[in-house]
Amino acid sequence: MSTVEQQVTPGFETSRRGFMAGSGAALVVGFTLPASGRALAAKAAPAAFTPNAWLRITADNRVTVVCGSSEMGQGVLTAIPQLMAEELDADWPQVSVEQAPVSQAFANPAFGMQATGGSTTVRGHWDVMRNAGATARAMLVAAAAEQWKVSPADCRTEAGHVIHGSKKLSYGQLAEAAAKQKAPEKVALKDPKDFKILGQRKKRLDTAGKTNGQAKYGIDVNLPGMLVAVMSRSPTPGAKAVKVDDSAAKAVKGVKQVITLPTGVAVLATGYWAAKKGRDALKIEWDAGALKGLSSAGITKQLAAAADSATAVAKQEGAVEVRSGKVVESTYEAPYLAHACMEPMNCTAWVKPDGVEVWAGTQSQGPVQGILSQVAAVDPGKVKVNTMMLGGGFGRRFAPDFVIDATLLSKISGSPVKLVYSREDDMAAGFYRPASVAKFAGAVGADGRATLLESGVGSPSIMAASGFMKIPEDGVDTFAMEGIADHPYDIPNQRLAYGRSEPGPVVWFWRSVGHSQNIFFMESFIDELAAAAGKDPFEFRRAMLDKQPRYKKVLEVAAEKAGWGKPLPAGVTRGIAVAQSFGSYVAEVAEVSLGADGTPRVHRVVAAVDCGMTVNPAIIERQIEGAIVYGLSAALYGKISYKDGRVEQGNFHEYPVLRHNEMPKVEVHIVASSEKPGGIGEPGTPPIAPAVANAIFAATGKRLRSLPFDTEQLKKA
């Protein structure tokens, strides 16, 4: 049995210095194709026109857009080409896309590194990709004008051609000549009214590959001589293996090695089933550590105490000491949540004498390259990251744990290794959405308007857990307070504070991050204030949004399209919520009924979204629909709980997700906007839980203040 205990510390803690040294701290978004990229492009198509890192035009008039972002269902392999193709005036049927290699040239402008998350891809690349397309178009026009001996100003472009009077040349015909043109320092971008590709319902470029099997996910990788690894992981947070009896595991046919890492004990075999059987045969003595008695009840108590004593003030206005009018006090709670990606975590790694190559569905190619250079003790340039399709990401695949362990196992074993998490492994692996407790106090005056809002939030810190962020000097973890500290309502007296508490489980980014629980807290409590004031929940919110026109607009559109105030079938009630996250504004109205057993049935959700200027309305609609499914699953069922230090959930029978017959009808109404784009992968998730909870209150008068919903208190007598 081989052992490595201190070779690497799991997580991002080991990555920051290596990443910065390996890829440079400067943000690179210019139009210069790096030497390695030029060589790659030249090898692929010697006569190609490659004016920048993201574009290649070949003599057959094919336009290939290179995308540095990861595709996990959110549509970036279509959206990024649309940005480029619009300003290029490309012929859309001639446009294709390919995944970029890991390179700082493909850094996400929002992050300064090649990574995908935070609903940043489109808004981060909005100007960059359009400028790149416009620059290429100008060079093609210059090449045609030079050939025709005319002024470039007298030429126009359309559907992959440069046109002057009756003369017409395709981009492919001009590719070689355009490559010799000097790139202009500044180009004019189109007026949005002239868009022909942006804002259009273009079919996704990755659909065919996903349906015919050509698209490859990390789980699909298969290499000659590859071993498959399954790990027995720490049963409690921080537990260590102190004694391993691997004799029975090694007796399993196909098992080749057993290796102990800081994160657990791995069995390497010729296939997954042999590795799993070997893992199950291990006899391990664990030192459970300080968290062996961890329980969900203890976690709640700890977080509630932190909420009570919250001193890191995120927002303070007016005076909160004096409470007058009708006063409301409430406590809300949300549990840890797993990401539950349909494709469990996996990575194939091959540590060779001259470098490292990995195949993974990762959201963080840039950081991974830096991390693995340290793990394998090689120069970052010798780490090749092949980005595979992601079978769901939701933030989980931004974490590096599965990539680190696969690389360590390959380095120790001397073979290419595919590390695969079972569903149960993944569910108990940590990297959860933080559990949180929020305590609120509020007041409404005689005029029915809110006069006071006070809140203390107790929660672990994602910023601290990330390893690449620092909590600001004021002590406020931005993620723990987003959705509360930046709420839109005009309330004169406020104090909103954060109390950090670390019960033990590793926390991480989860779809919509802090908004996912905080909007449930905030929008439910606003509903409580509306009830105390005797006001309609829609009108109560609307009256406090005069200074927030984008919030107000989506709220009004959602209410109008849902028929707010109009009669509903017997037993059905409506609830409403509104939120801003990642630069986009979403309001949702849920129509809900209750079964005799207290189970909510969501019949219809009407969503209004203002995400600024749009790239592809069809993608926006699908992302809002998917975000509602994700958020509704969490609201009805999602919970990671602890008993005696161990996670109680193992698979989907204990961690259910919404089934087809539970899916509500979803209507998405996109509000026209001239603002720059916001994100769209996450903003649909936060409003759904409070909208449903508020509808349940309208039906029963019972306020649900914890997630997932406790249907026991809703049972009819």
Say whether pLDDT at 38 is over 50. Answer: no
Kindly report the average pLDDT of the chain as a whole number. 93
Say whether pLDDT at 272 is over 80. Answer: yes
SS3 56: strand
Q: So what's the pLDDT on residue 667?
A: 98
Q: Which helix (H) or strand (E) holds 128?
A: helix 121-148
Q: So what's the pLDDT on residue 31?
A: 28
Angle between helices 515-533 and 617-636 (to 10 degrees): 80
Query: Are residues 308 and 261 part of one domain?
Result: no
**Percentage of the chain with pLDDT > 90?**
91
Q: Which residue, among 500, 390, 429, has the nearest Cα to 121 in the 3D structure?
A: 390
Copy the structure tokens of residue 487. Answer: 């709420």
Q: Which residue range(s) make up the domain with 114?
A: 31-212
Say whether pLDDT at 198 is over 50. Answer: yes
Query: Are residues 226 and 96 part of one domain?
Result: no
Query: Are residues 623 and 520 part of one domain?
Result: yes
Q: So what's the pLDDT on residue 16?
A: 30
In order of 321, 454, 483, 492, 499, the CA distances from 317 in angstroms are: 11, 10, 17, 7, 19
Contacts with 274 (C-beta within 8 Å, 6 or more apart), sequence order: 228, 252, 253, 254, 255
β-strands 417-420, 227-233: how paired?
Answer: parallel
* 113 DSSP assignment: B
Say whether pLDDT at 166 is over 70. Answer: yes
Q: Which residue, among 468, 470, 461, 524, has the nearest Cα to 498 in the 3D structure?
A: 461
Say whether pLDDT at 10 is over 70. Answer: no
Query: Are residues 144 and 281 part of one domain?
Result: no
Q: So what's the pLDDT on residue 715?
A: 81
β-strands 573-581, 584-594: how paired?
Answer: antiparallel
Q: So what's the pLDDT on residue 711?
A: 87
In order of 43, 44, 240, the CA distances from 39 in angstroms are: 6, 9, 47
Q: With 0-12 CB in 10 A as exposed, 13-18 as middle and 19+ as buried, what is 186?
A: exposed
**Contact predicate 702/641, CB 8 Å:** no
Copy the structure tokens of residue 301. Answer: 């108590």
Query: Are residues 527 and 448 part of one domain?
Result: yes
Sign of CA dihedral 294, 295, 300, 302: negative
Q: How many domains does the chain have?
A: 3
Query: Are residues 490 and 364 part of one domain?
Result: no
Domain assignment present for residue 453? The answer is: yes
Domain assignment present for residue 119? The answer is: yes
- Residue 103 to residue 46: CA distance in whole angstroms: 21
Residue 30 binned pLDDT confidence (cut-offs 50, 70, 90) = very low
Which of 182, 212, 242 corresponds to the end of one domain?
212
Give the number of other CB atoms < 10 A from CB of residue 646.
17
Domain assignment present for residue 8? The answer is: no
Average pLDDT over residues 69-75: 97
Beta bridge partner(s), residue 304: none
Domain assignment present for residue 11? The answer is: no
Q: Which residue has the higher pLDDT, 596 or 245?
A: 245
Domain assignment present for residue 9? The answer is: no
* 700 DSSP assignment: H
Cα 41 → chain centroid: 30
Copy the structure tokens of residue 505. Answer: 């489980």
Domain assignment present for residue 167? The answer is: yes
- Tens digit of each residue's pLDDT (9 = 90 or more) over 126-152: 999 999 999 999 999 999 999 999 999
Say whether pLDDT at 19 is over 60. Answer: no
Residue 13 binned pLDDT confidence (cut-offs 50, 70, 90) = very low
Q: Which residue has the higher pLDDT, 596 or 136?
A: 136
- Residue 717 to residue 710: CA distance in whole angstroms: 16
Average pLDDT over residues 249-268: 97
Angle between helices 688-700 and 617-636 (to 10 degrees): 50
- Tens digit of each residue's pLDDT (9 = 90 or more) over 618-676: 999 999 999 999 999 999 999 999 999 999 999 999 999 999 999 999 999 999 999 99
Residue 322 binned pLDDT confidence (cut-offs 50, 70, 90) = confident
Beta bridge partner(s), residue 455: 440, 496
Average pLDDT over residues 592-598: 92
Domain assignment present for residue 4? The answer is: no
Place of tokens 């509704």: 632
Sign of CA dihedral 19, 20, 21, 27: positive
**Contact predicate 614/624, CB 8 Å:** no
Domain assignment present for residue 25? The answer is: no
Q: So what's the pLDDT on residue 353?
A: 94
Say whether pLDDT at 22 is over 90. Answer: no
- Residue 690 to residue 696: CA distance in whole angstroms: 10
Residue 1 binned pLDDT confidence (cut-offs 50, 70, 90) = very low
Average pLDDT over residues 62-68: 98
DSSP alpha helix (H) spans, 295-431: 296-308, 365-375, 401-413, 423-427
- Tens digit of each residue's pLDDT (9 = 90 or more) over 519-569: 999 999 999 999 999 999 999 999 999 999 999 999 999 999 999 999 999
Q: So what's the pLDDT on residue 713?
A: 85
CATH of the domain at 378: 3.30.365.10
- Tens digit of each residue's pLDDT (9 = 90 or more) over 97-110: 999 999 999 999 99
Query: Are residues 179 and 244 part of one domain?
Result: no
Average pLDDT over residues 116-135: 97
Q: Which helix (H) or strand (E) holds 268?
A: strand 264-269
Query: Are residues 509 and 402 part of one domain?
Result: no
- Tens digit of each residue's pLDDT (9 = 90 or more) over 341-377: 999 999 999 999 999 999 999 999 999 999 999 999 9
Query: Are residues 629 and 583 part of one domain?
Result: yes
Say whether pLDDT at 6 is over 60. Answer: no
* 200 DSSP assignment: S
Query: Are residues 478 and 394 part of one domain?
Result: no
Say whether pLDDT at 40 is over 60. Answer: no
Query: Are residues 224 and 197 part of one domain?
Result: no
Query: Are residues 400 and 490 part of one domain?
Result: no
Which of 212, 235, 264 corresponds to the end of one domain?
212
Q: So what's the pLDDT on residue 77?
A: 98
Beta bridge partner(s), residue 268: 229, 257
Cα-only R_g, the chain: 27
Q: So what's the pLDDT on residue 5?
A: 34
Residue 17 binned pLDDT confidence (cut-offs 50, 70, 90) = very low
Which of 355, 387, 420 corresponds to the end of one domain?
420
